[in-house]
């Protein structure tokens, strides 16, 4: 599997994990689609940015930084939603960074470029 395919797959999985609680709360479709696309993009950034950090820490930092603009918008109408957003960003970002490092070492899952 090529790197971009594996990254897309992981982004889709992260997006689904994030939107399930949103769908259960019956949030509007724009919020759900926005969150899903956000995670696909975040995982691409995590997997293609090179920082001299452990994978999970790189993922955590990038996910939290990329969530800030969304949190600012959400804070206007739903200030109580910011804490769960921070938590989800921490967990999914850390997992995305960990997965990239783990698979890259184990079987070159993310590094194949053919």
- Summarised one tens digit per residue, pLDDT across range 59-110 is 999 999 999 999 999 999 989 999 999 999 999 999 999 988 776 554 454 4
The rounded Cα 104 to chain-centroid distance in angstroms is 18
In the chain, what are the domain boundaries?
3-107
Residue 10, both tokens:
């992981």
Task: Indicate if the pLDDT at residue 111 is higher than 60.
Answer: no
User: What spatial distance separates the first Cα and last Cα of the chain, rounded to whole Å?
Assistant: 9
Rg of the Cα atoms in the chain: 14
What's this model's pTM, rounded to 2 decimal places?
A: 0.82
């Amino acid at each position: 599997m090529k790197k971009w395919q594996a990254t897309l797959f992981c982004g889709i999985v992260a997006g689904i994990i994030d939107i399930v609680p949103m769908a259960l709360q019956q949030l509007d479709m724009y919020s759900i689609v926005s969150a899903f696309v956000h995670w696909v993009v975040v995982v691409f950034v995590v997997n293609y940015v090179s920082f001299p950090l452990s994978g999970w820490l790189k993922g955590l930092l990038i996910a939290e930084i990329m969530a800030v603009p969304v949190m600012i918008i959400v804070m206007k109408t739903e200030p109580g939603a910011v804490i769960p957003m921070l938590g989800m960003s921490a967990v999914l970002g850390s997992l995305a960074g960990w997965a990239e490092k783990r698979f890259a070492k184990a079987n070159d899952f993310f590094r194949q470029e053919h």
